[in-house]
Chains A and B, each alone.
Chain A
Amino acid sequence: MKKRPRLYTALTTVAPKEIQLLERRLFLKRSLSLGALALLTGCDVTDVDAVHRTLWAMSKWNDRAQGWLFNPHKLAPVYPDSAITKPFPFNAFYDEDEVPMVDSGKYKLTLGGLIRDKKPWTLAQLYALPQVSQITRHVCVEGWSAIGKWSGVPFRYFLERVGADLSAKYVGFKCLDDYYTSIDMATALHPQTQLTFKYADQILPAKYGFPMKLRIPTKLGFKNPKHIAEIYVTNVYPGGYWEDIGYNWFSGL
Protein backbone atom coordinates (compact mmCIF):
# COMPACT_ATOMS: atom_id res chain seq x y z
CA MET A 1 0.00 0.00 0.00
CA LYS A 2 1.76 3.10 -1.18
CA LYS A 3 0.61 6.62 -1.63
CA ARG A 4 -1.90 7.32 -4.31
CA PRO A 5 -2.00 11.03 -5.14
CA ARG A 6 -3.96 13.01 -2.51
CA LEU A 7 -6.20 14.62 -5.10
CA TYR A 8 -7.82 11.31 -5.90
CA THR A 9 -8.47 10.25 -2.33
CA ALA A 10 -10.02 13.63 -1.58
CA LEU A 11 -12.26 13.42 -4.61
CA THR A 12 -13.45 9.88 -3.99
CA THR A 13 -15.31 11.04 -0.91
CA VAL A 14 -17.30 13.51 -3.03
CA ALA A 15 -18.80 11.40 -5.80
CA PRO A 16 -17.23 7.97 -5.60
CA LYS A 17 -18.52 6.24 -8.72
CA GLU A 18 -18.04 9.01 -11.26
CA ILE A 19 -14.72 10.09 -9.86
CA GLN A 20 -13.44 6.55 -9.76
CA LEU A 21 -14.25 6.16 -13.43
CA LEU A 22 -12.57 9.47 -14.14
CA GLU A 23 -9.49 8.67 -12.11
CA ARG A 24 -9.25 5.26 -13.71
CA ARG A 25 -9.18 6.98 -17.09
CA LEU A 26 -6.53 9.39 -15.85
CA PHE A 27 -4.36 6.58 -14.59
CA LEU A 28 -4.85 4.64 -17.78
CA LYS A 29 -3.94 7.65 -19.85
CA ARG A 30 -0.79 7.99 -17.78
CA SER A 31 0.01 4.35 -18.31
CA LEU A 32 0.49 5.09 -21.98
CA SER A 33 1.43 8.72 -22.18
CA LEU A 34 5.18 8.44 -21.74
CA GLY A 35 8.24 7.90 -23.87
CA ALA A 36 7.58 4.26 -24.46
CA LEU A 37 4.52 5.28 -26.44
CA ALA A 38 6.99 5.17 -29.31
CA LEU A 39 6.04 1.51 -29.34
CA LEU A 40 2.66 2.49 -30.61
CA THR A 41 3.52 5.27 -33.01
CA GLY A 42 0.65 6.20 -35.24
CA CYS A 43 -2.01 5.17 -32.75
CA ASP A 44 -5.02 7.43 -32.30
CA VAL A 45 -7.09 7.74 -29.13
CA THR A 46 -9.31 4.79 -30.07
CA ASP A 47 -6.27 2.55 -30.29
CA VAL A 48 -5.11 3.77 -26.89
CA ASP A 49 -8.51 2.87 -25.41
CA ALA A 50 -8.27 -0.52 -27.09
CA VAL A 51 -4.86 -1.08 -25.50
CA HIS A 52 -6.27 -0.17 -22.08
CA ARG A 53 -9.21 -2.52 -22.51
CA THR A 54 -6.79 -5.27 -23.53
CA LEU A 55 -4.58 -4.67 -20.48
CA TRP A 56 -7.61 -4.77 -18.14
CA ALA A 57 -8.89 -7.90 -19.86
CA MET A 58 -5.47 -9.51 -19.42
CA SER A 59 -5.50 -8.56 -15.72
CA LYS A 60 -8.91 -10.27 -15.36
CA TRP A 61 -7.50 -13.30 -17.19
CA ASN A 62 -4.57 -13.26 -14.75
CA ASP A 63 -7.07 -13.33 -11.85
CA ARG A 64 -8.45 -16.59 -13.25
CA ALA A 65 -5.01 -18.03 -14.01
CA GLN A 66 -3.89 -17.31 -10.43
CA GLY A 67 -7.05 -18.90 -9.07
CA TRP A 68 -6.06 -22.10 -10.89
CA LEU A 69 -2.43 -21.85 -9.77
CA PHE A 70 -3.42 -21.30 -6.13
CA ASN A 71 -3.02 -24.48 -4.12
CA PRO A 72 -5.21 -24.09 -1.01
CA HIS A 73 -3.06 -26.59 0.90
CA LYS A 74 0.34 -25.14 0.00
CA LEU A 75 1.79 -23.29 2.98
CA ALA A 76 3.90 -20.15 2.70
CA PRO A 77 7.45 -20.69 4.02
CA VAL A 78 7.88 -19.91 7.73
CA TYR A 79 11.03 -18.46 9.26
CA PRO A 80 12.91 -18.49 12.58
CA ASP A 81 12.78 -15.52 14.97
CA SER A 82 16.25 -14.50 13.84
CA ALA A 83 14.97 -13.82 10.32
CA ILE A 84 12.49 -11.13 11.42
CA THR A 85 13.05 -7.75 9.74
CA LYS A 86 13.74 -4.98 12.25
CA PRO A 87 12.27 -2.48 12.15
CA PHE A 88 9.37 -3.84 10.15
CA PRO A 89 8.54 -1.18 7.52
CA PHE A 90 5.44 0.98 7.84
CA ASN A 91 3.54 1.21 4.56
CA ALA A 92 0.20 2.76 3.66
CA PHE A 93 -1.34 5.17 1.17
CA TYR A 94 -0.78 7.94 3.74
CA ASP A 95 2.05 9.02 6.04
CA GLU A 96 2.72 7.44 9.41
CA ASP A 97 1.46 10.52 11.30
CA GLU A 98 -1.95 10.08 9.61
CA VAL A 99 -2.50 6.57 10.97
CA PRO A 100 -6.04 6.33 12.43
CA MET A 101 -6.21 6.27 16.23
CA VAL A 102 -8.89 3.82 17.29
CA ASP A 103 -10.63 3.89 20.68
CA SER A 104 -10.44 0.26 21.78
CA GLY A 105 -13.36 0.71 24.20
CA LYS A 106 -15.76 1.94 21.53
CA TYR A 107 -14.50 -0.28 18.72
CA LYS A 108 -16.80 -2.92 17.29
CA LEU A 109 -16.20 -5.21 14.33
CA THR A 110 -19.32 -5.34 12.19
CA LEU A 111 -20.27 -8.21 9.90
CA GLY A 112 -22.34 -8.13 6.73
CA GLY A 113 -23.48 -10.04 3.68
CA LEU A 114 -23.81 -13.81 3.61
CA ILE A 115 -23.11 -14.35 7.31
CA ARG A 116 -25.62 -16.06 9.63
CA ASP A 117 -24.65 -14.39 12.91
CA LYS A 118 -24.05 -10.70 12.20
CA LYS A 119 -23.73 -9.70 15.86
CA PRO A 120 -20.90 -7.12 16.16
CA TRP A 121 -17.75 -8.16 18.04
CA THR A 122 -16.00 -6.17 20.77
CA LEU A 123 -12.23 -6.34 21.06
CA ALA A 124 -12.46 -8.31 24.32
CA GLN A 125 -14.60 -10.95 22.56
CA LEU A 126 -12.16 -11.13 19.66
CA TYR A 127 -9.15 -11.45 21.95
CA ALA A 128 -10.84 -14.41 23.66
CA LEU A 129 -10.72 -16.44 20.42
CA PRO A 130 -8.02 -19.15 20.10
CA GLN A 131 -4.85 -17.64 18.67
CA VAL A 132 -1.86 -18.91 16.70
CA SER A 133 1.38 -17.26 15.58
CA GLN A 134 3.24 -17.22 12.29
CA ILE A 135 6.56 -15.81 11.09
CA THR A 136 6.13 -15.24 7.37
CA ARG A 137 7.31 -13.03 4.54
CA HIS A 138 5.28 -9.97 3.62
CA VAL A 139 5.81 -9.19 -0.09
CA CYS A 140 4.93 -5.70 -1.30
CA VAL A 141 3.61 -5.05 -4.81
CA GLU A 142 6.55 -2.63 -5.12
CA GLY A 143 8.97 -5.53 -4.89
CA TRP A 144 10.46 -5.28 -1.40
CA SER A 145 9.74 -7.88 1.22
CA ALA A 146 10.04 -8.12 5.01
CA ILE A 147 9.60 -10.90 7.54
CA GLY A 148 7.41 -10.40 10.61
CA LYS A 149 5.62 -12.25 13.38
CA TRP A 150 1.85 -12.04 13.53
CA SER A 151 -0.59 -13.62 15.99
CA GLY A 152 -4.34 -13.98 15.83
CA VAL A 153 -7.22 -16.30 15.08
CA PRO A 154 -7.17 -18.41 11.91
CA PHE A 155 -9.61 -16.60 9.63
CA ARG A 156 -11.26 -19.88 8.64
CA TYR A 157 -12.12 -20.52 12.31
CA PHE A 158 -13.68 -17.07 12.58
CA LEU A 159 -15.70 -17.44 9.36
CA GLU A 160 -17.01 -20.83 10.48
CA ARG A 161 -17.80 -19.47 13.95
CA VAL A 162 -20.00 -16.64 12.60
CA GLY A 163 -21.67 -18.92 10.06
CA ALA A 164 -20.30 -17.32 6.90
CA ASP A 165 -21.41 -18.87 3.61
CA LEU A 166 -18.14 -20.59 2.73
CA SER A 167 -19.39 -21.35 -0.77
CA ALA A 168 -19.62 -17.62 -1.58
CA LYS A 169 -17.03 -16.14 -3.91
CA TYR A 170 -15.63 -13.16 -2.01
CA VAL A 171 -14.83 -11.78 1.41
CA GLY A 172 -14.73 -7.99 1.51
CA PHE A 173 -13.17 -5.60 4.03
CA LYS A 174 -13.95 -2.00 4.93
CA CYS A 175 -11.33 -0.24 7.00
CA LEU A 176 -11.20 2.69 9.42
CA ASP A 177 -8.67 4.47 7.20
CA ASP A 178 -11.16 4.35 4.28
CA TYR A 179 -9.19 1.56 2.70
CA TYR A 180 -11.15 -1.34 1.25
CA THR A 181 -10.25 -4.58 -0.47
CA SER A 182 -11.54 -8.08 -1.08
CA ILE A 183 -10.21 -11.62 -1.47
CA ASP A 184 -11.35 -14.93 -2.93
CA MET A 185 -12.95 -17.46 -0.56
CA ALA A 186 -10.24 -20.08 -1.23
CA THR A 187 -7.59 -17.71 0.13
CA ALA A 188 -9.84 -16.66 3.05
CA LEU A 189 -9.98 -20.33 4.08
CA HIS A 190 -6.22 -20.97 3.63
CA PRO A 191 -4.74 -22.34 6.91
CA GLN A 192 -2.31 -19.40 7.25
CA THR A 193 -4.84 -16.63 6.60
CA GLN A 194 -5.15 -14.97 9.98
CA LEU A 195 -7.27 -12.29 11.64
CA THR A 196 -4.35 -10.67 13.40
CA PHE A 197 -4.36 -8.94 16.80
CA LYS A 198 -0.64 -8.90 17.61
CA TYR A 199 2.64 -8.00 15.99
CA ALA A 200 5.84 -9.39 17.58
CA ASP A 201 3.80 -10.67 20.56
CA GLN A 202 2.54 -7.13 21.35
CA ILE A 203 -0.97 -5.77 20.76
CA LEU A 204 -0.94 -4.63 17.13
CA PRO A 205 0.46 -1.06 17.13
CA ALA A 206 -1.55 1.62 15.30
CA LYS A 207 0.99 1.79 12.48
CA TYR A 208 0.59 -1.94 11.76
CA GLY A 209 -3.19 -1.84 11.79
CA PHE A 210 -4.73 -1.62 15.28
CA PRO A 211 -7.09 -3.06 16.29
CA MET A 212 -6.74 -5.79 13.68
CA LYS A 213 -5.52 -6.63 10.23
CA LEU A 214 -5.95 -9.63 7.98
CA ARG A 215 -2.59 -11.31 7.50
CA ILE A 216 -2.44 -13.32 4.25
CA PRO A 217 1.02 -14.76 3.55
CA THR A 218 -0.22 -16.04 0.17
CA LYS A 219 -1.04 -12.55 -1.11
CA LEU A 220 0.77 -9.26 -1.80
CA GLY A 221 0.85 -6.74 1.05
CA PHE A 222 -1.88 -4.45 -0.27
CA LYS A 223 -4.31 -7.40 -0.04
CA ASN A 224 -3.73 -7.45 3.76
CA PRO A 225 -6.22 -4.84 5.06
CA LYS A 226 -5.43 -2.99 8.31
CA HIS A 227 -7.76 -1.24 10.81
CA ILE A 228 -10.63 -3.51 9.75
CA ALA A 229 -14.07 -2.14 10.63
CA GLU A 230 -16.33 -4.47 8.65
CA ILE A 231 -16.08 -7.92 7.13
CA TYR A 232 -18.70 -9.06 4.62
CA VAL A 233 -19.23 -12.12 2.46
CA THR A 234 -20.65 -11.72 -1.04
CA ASN A 235 -20.94 -13.14 -4.52
CA VAL A 236 -20.75 -9.66 -6.08
CA TYR A 237 -17.19 -8.62 -6.99
CA PRO A 238 -16.28 -5.95 -4.40
CA GLY A 239 -13.02 -4.65 -5.94
CA GLY A 240 -10.62 -2.65 -3.80
CA TYR A 241 -8.90 0.68 -3.28
CA TRP A 242 -5.89 -0.15 -5.47
CA GLU A 243 -7.58 -2.86 -7.51
CA ASP A 244 -10.11 -0.35 -8.89
CA ILE A 245 -7.36 1.74 -10.46
CA GLY A 246 -5.21 -1.03 -11.85
CA TYR A 247 -3.46 -3.31 -9.40
CA ASN A 248 -4.28 -6.91 -10.17
CA TRP A 249 -7.16 -8.10 -7.97
CA PHE A 250 -6.05 -11.66 -7.14
CA SER A 251 -2.40 -10.73 -6.48
CA GLY A 252 -1.57 -14.15 -5.04
CA LEU A 253 1.92 -15.28 -4.16
Chain B
Amino acid sequence: MDTDIDDPPRLPSVVIHPLVVRVCHWINAFAILIMILSGWRIYNASALFPFRFPSSITLGGWLGGALQWHFAAMWLLVANGIVYVLYGVVSGHYRGSFFPVSPRALVNEISNVLRGQMSHRLGVYNAIQKLTYLVVIVLGIVLVLSGLCIWKPVQFQGLAALMGGYEGARLLHFFAMAGVVGFIVVHLTLVVLVPSTLLPMFTGRAPRDSTSPEGGP
Protein backbone atom coordinates (compact mmCIF):
# COMPACT_ATOMS: atom_id res chain seq x y z
CA MET B 1 0.00 0.00 0.00
CA ASP B 2 1.22 3.49 -0.85
CA THR B 3 2.31 5.19 2.34
CA ASP B 4 1.30 8.59 0.93
CA ILE B 5 -2.34 7.58 1.17
CA ASP B 6 -2.11 6.12 4.65
CA ASP B 7 -0.10 9.00 5.97
CA PRO B 8 -0.58 12.08 3.77
CA PRO B 9 1.64 15.08 4.31
CA ARG B 10 0.07 17.58 6.70
CA LEU B 11 -1.76 20.26 4.71
CA PRO B 12 -0.65 23.80 5.44
CA SER B 13 -4.23 25.15 5.26
CA VAL B 14 -7.86 24.12 5.12
CA VAL B 15 -10.86 25.53 3.26
CA ILE B 16 -13.11 27.30 5.75
CA HIS B 17 -15.27 29.32 3.33
CA PRO B 18 -16.59 27.41 0.29
CA LEU B 19 -16.15 29.14 -3.08
CA VAL B 20 -19.91 29.71 -3.55
CA VAL B 21 -20.13 31.44 -0.16
CA ARG B 22 -17.16 33.68 -0.93
CA VAL B 23 -18.43 34.72 -4.37
CA CYS B 24 -21.93 35.36 -2.99
CA HIS B 25 -20.47 37.31 -0.07
CA TRP B 26 -18.63 39.80 -2.24
CA ILE B 27 -21.43 40.19 -4.79
CA ASN B 28 -23.77 40.73 -1.85
CA ALA B 29 -21.43 43.28 -0.27
CA PHE B 30 -21.39 45.26 -3.54
CA ALA B 31 -25.17 45.03 -4.06
CA ILE B 32 -25.99 45.88 -0.43
CA LEU B 33 -23.70 48.91 -0.54
CA ILE B 34 -25.51 50.24 -3.64
CA MET B 35 -28.92 49.45 -2.13
CA ILE B 36 -28.16 51.23 1.16
CA LEU B 37 -26.51 54.33 -0.31
CA SER B 38 -29.18 54.81 -2.99
CA GLY B 39 -31.87 53.92 -0.44
CA TRP B 40 -30.70 56.76 1.79
CA ARG B 41 -31.12 59.17 -1.11
CA ILE B 42 -34.63 57.84 -1.73
CA TYR B 43 -35.40 58.17 1.99
CA ASN B 44 -34.29 61.82 1.86
CA ALA B 45 -36.95 62.64 -0.77
CA SER B 46 -39.63 62.06 1.87
CA ALA B 47 -38.11 61.43 5.28
CA LEU B 48 -40.00 59.15 7.67
CA PHE B 49 -38.29 60.65 10.71
CA PRO B 50 -36.98 64.12 11.55
CA PHE B 51 -33.55 63.54 10.01
CA ARG B 52 -31.99 63.10 6.60
CA PHE B 53 -28.83 61.35 5.47
CA PRO B 54 -26.03 63.68 4.36
CA SER B 55 -26.17 63.86 0.55
CA SER B 56 -22.43 63.28 0.31
CA ILE B 57 -22.79 59.72 1.57
CA THR B 58 -25.70 58.84 -0.72
CA LEU B 59 -25.71 57.44 -4.25
CA GLY B 60 -27.59 58.70 -7.29
CA GLY B 61 -27.23 62.51 -7.17
CA TRP B 62 -31.01 63.04 -7.21
CA LEU B 63 -34.11 60.97 -6.54
CA GLY B 64 -34.38 59.67 -10.12
CA GLY B 65 -30.72 58.63 -10.17
CA ALA B 66 -31.01 56.93 -6.78
CA LEU B 67 -34.11 55.04 -7.92
CA GLN B 68 -32.27 53.86 -11.04
CA TRP B 69 -29.43 52.51 -8.90
CA HIS B 70 -31.83 50.95 -6.39
CA PHE B 71 -33.99 49.20 -9.00
CA ALA B 72 -30.95 47.99 -10.95
CA ALA B 73 -29.00 46.63 -7.97
CA MET B 74 -32.11 44.92 -6.56
CA TRP B 75 -31.90 42.29 -9.30
CA LEU B 76 -28.29 41.55 -8.40
CA LEU B 77 -29.14 41.44 -4.69
CA VAL B 78 -32.10 39.11 -5.14
CA ALA B 79 -30.50 36.78 -7.72
CA ASN B 80 -27.36 36.48 -5.60
CA GLY B 81 -29.42 36.06 -2.43
CA ILE B 82 -31.42 33.21 -3.96
CA VAL B 83 -28.22 31.40 -5.02
CA TYR B 84 -26.73 31.90 -1.55
CA VAL B 85 -29.78 30.73 0.41
CA LEU B 86 -30.39 27.73 -1.87
CA TYR B 87 -26.73 26.75 -1.57
CA GLY B 88 -26.82 27.22 2.19
CA VAL B 89 -29.84 25.00 2.60
CA VAL B 90 -29.04 22.31 0.00
CA SER B 91 -25.33 21.92 0.75
CA GLY B 92 -25.80 21.75 4.51
CA HIS B 93 -23.64 24.87 4.92
CA TYR B 94 -26.27 26.46 7.21
CA ARG B 95 -26.82 23.25 9.19
CA GLY B 96 -23.09 22.91 9.74
CA SER B 97 -22.24 26.55 10.42
CA PHE B 98 -25.29 28.17 11.99
CA PHE B 99 -27.09 25.35 13.80
CA PRO B 100 -27.63 24.45 16.53
CA VAL B 101 -27.77 27.74 18.42
CA SER B 102 -28.50 26.63 21.96
CA PRO B 103 -29.62 29.19 24.55
CA ARG B 104 -27.00 27.83 26.95
CA ALA B 105 -24.19 28.31 24.46
CA LEU B 106 -25.48 31.81 23.81
CA VAL B 107 -25.48 32.67 27.53
CA ASN B 108 -21.99 31.23 27.91
CA GLU B 109 -20.73 33.24 24.98
CA ILE B 110 -22.30 36.46 26.20
CA SER B 111 -20.71 35.99 29.63
CA ASN B 112 -17.39 35.30 27.90
CA VAL B 113 -17.68 38.54 25.97
CA LEU B 114 -18.58 40.45 29.13
CA ARG B 115 -15.44 39.06 30.76
CA GLY B 116 -13.48 40.22 27.71
CA GLN B 117 -12.86 36.69 26.44
CA MET B 118 -14.14 36.36 22.92
CA SER B 119 -13.66 32.93 21.49
CA HIS B 120 -12.82 32.98 17.82
CA ARG B 121 -11.74 30.15 15.63
CA LEU B 122 -11.60 30.83 11.92
CA GLY B 123 -14.37 29.00 10.14
CA VAL B 124 -16.11 27.97 13.35
CA TYR B 125 -18.85 30.24 14.63
CA ASN B 126 -19.62 30.78 18.29
CA ALA B 127 -23.23 31.09 19.47
CA ILE B 128 -23.37 34.89 19.12
CA GLN B 129 -22.01 34.70 15.60
CA LYS B 130 -24.46 31.97 14.65
CA LEU B 131 -27.40 33.98 15.92
CA THR B 132 -26.16 37.19 14.32
CA TYR B 133 -25.69 35.62 10.89
CA LEU B 134 -29.13 34.01 11.09
CA VAL B 135 -30.72 37.32 12.09
CA VAL B 136 -29.04 39.24 9.27
CA ILE B 137 -30.17 36.62 6.72
CA VAL B 138 -33.72 37.02 8.00
CA LEU B 139 -33.35 40.83 7.84
CA GLY B 140 -32.23 40.47 4.22
CA ILE B 141 -35.35 38.48 3.41
CA VAL B 142 -37.52 41.04 5.24
CA LEU B 143 -35.84 43.84 3.25
CA VAL B 144 -36.58 42.13 -0.06
CA LEU B 145 -40.20 41.37 0.83
CA SER B 146 -40.96 44.81 2.30
CA GLY B 147 -39.19 46.38 -0.70
CA LEU B 148 -41.44 44.36 -2.99
CA CYS B 149 -44.49 45.73 -1.12
CA ILE B 150 -43.28 49.32 -1.46
CA TRP B 151 -42.48 48.86 -5.15
CA LYS B 152 -45.74 47.02 -5.96
CA PRO B 153 -48.26 47.67 -3.15
CA VAL B 154 -51.20 46.86 -5.46
CA GLN B 155 -49.87 43.69 -7.08
CA PHE B 156 -48.61 42.34 -3.70
CA GLN B 157 -51.37 43.85 -1.55
CA GLY B 158 -51.87 40.58 0.37
CA LEU B 159 -48.25 40.53 1.50
CA ALA B 160 -48.33 44.31 2.10
CA ALA B 161 -51.40 43.90 4.35
CA LEU B 162 -49.32 41.64 6.63
CA MET B 163 -46.90 44.55 7.07
CA GLY B 164 -49.60 47.14 7.78
CA GLY B 165 -50.05 48.16 4.16
CA TYR B 166 -47.86 50.45 2.06
CA GLU B 167 -46.86 52.76 4.93
CA GLY B 168 -46.19 49.81 7.24
CA ALA B 169 -43.93 48.26 4.60
CA ARG B 170 -42.00 51.55 4.38
CA LEU B 171 -41.35 51.51 8.13
CA LEU B 172 -40.38 47.84 8.10
CA HIS B 173 -38.05 48.43 5.16
CA PHE B 174 -36.38 51.28 7.06
CA PHE B 175 -35.92 49.34 10.32
CA ALA B 176 -34.62 46.24 8.54
CA MET B 177 -32.12 48.51 6.74
CA ALA B 178 -31.09 49.99 10.11
CA GLY B 179 -30.58 46.44 11.43
CA VAL B 180 -28.40 45.49 8.46
CA VAL B 181 -26.37 48.70 8.80
CA GLY B 182 -25.87 47.88 12.49
CA PHE B 183 -24.71 44.41 11.51
CA ILE B 184 -22.26 45.82 8.96
CA VAL B 185 -20.77 48.19 11.55
CA VAL B 186 -20.19 45.34 14.01
CA HIS B 187 -19.04 42.98 11.25
CA LEU B 188 -16.42 45.44 9.98
CA THR B 189 -15.31 46.36 13.51
CA LEU B 190 -14.63 42.72 14.25
CA VAL B 191 -12.66 42.33 11.02
CA VAL B 192 -10.51 45.25 12.16
CA LEU B 193 -10.08 43.65 15.60
CA VAL B 194 -9.32 40.20 14.14
CA PRO B 195 -7.68 40.97 10.76
CA SER B 196 -6.82 37.32 10.12
CA THR B 197 -10.49 36.79 9.20
CA LEU B 198 -10.21 38.99 6.10
CA LEU B 199 -7.87 37.02 3.80
CA PRO B 200 -9.83 33.74 4.09
CA MET B 201 -12.91 35.58 2.77
CA PHE B 202 -10.95 35.91 -0.51
CA THR B 203 -8.86 32.72 -0.56
CA GLY B 204 -11.24 30.55 1.41
CA ARG B 205 -8.25 29.09 3.22
CA ALA B 206 -6.91 29.51 6.73
CA PRO B 207 -3.80 28.03 8.37
CA ARG B 208 -4.75 24.69 9.89
CA ASP B 209 -3.54 25.80 13.34
CA SER B 210 -5.86 28.78 13.48
CA THR B 211 -8.94 26.63 13.02
CA SER B 212 -8.26 24.39 16.02
CA PRO B 213 -9.46 25.41 19.48
CA GLU B 214 -5.90 25.58 20.78
CA GLY B 215 -4.76 27.89 18.03
CA GLY B 216 -7.54 30.43 18.47
CA PRO B 217 -6.88 33.87 19.90
Interface residues of A (CB under 8 A from B): 2, 27-36, 39, 54-56, 58-59, 62, 66, 69-71, 74-77, 137, 139-145, 217-218, 242, 245-248, 252-253
Contacts and interface: CB of A to CB of B under 8 A. Distances in A.
B56 A34 contact: yes
A243 to B, nearest CB: 9
B72 A54 contact: yes
B56 A35 contact: yes
Contacts of B150: 143
A64 to B, nearest CB: 12
Given A27-B62, A253-B153, A36 B57 contact: yes
Nearest to A77: B157
Contacts of A242: 64
A246 B33 contact: no
A27 B61 contact: yes
Nearest to B76: A58
A34 B155 contact: no
Contact of A246 (B48, B68, B153, B170): B68
Nearest to B33: A39
B154 A77 contact: yes
Contacts of A30: 61-62, 65
The 4 closest A-B pairs by CB, nearest first: A31-B65, A246-B64, A30-B61, A58-B72
Nearest to B45: A142
Contact of B71 (A2, A36, A59, A140): A59
Contacts of B124: none
11 contacts: A2-B63, A34-B59, A35-B57, A55-B68, A58-B68, A59-B68, A62-B71, A141-B45, A141-B63, A142-B63, A253-B152
Nearest to B62: A30
A137 B130 CA distance: 42
B42 interface: yes
Given A58-B75, A77-B157, A218-B154, A141 B59 contact: no
B84 interface: no
Contacts of B166: 137, 139, 145
Interface string B132-151: 00000000000000000010
A9 B68 CA distance: 22
B37 A253 contact: no
A32 B67 contact: no
Nearest to A192: B154
Given A59-B71, A140-B46, 8 more contacts: A29-B61, A31-B69, A34-B56, A62-B71, A137-B166, A139-B153, A145-B167, A253-B153
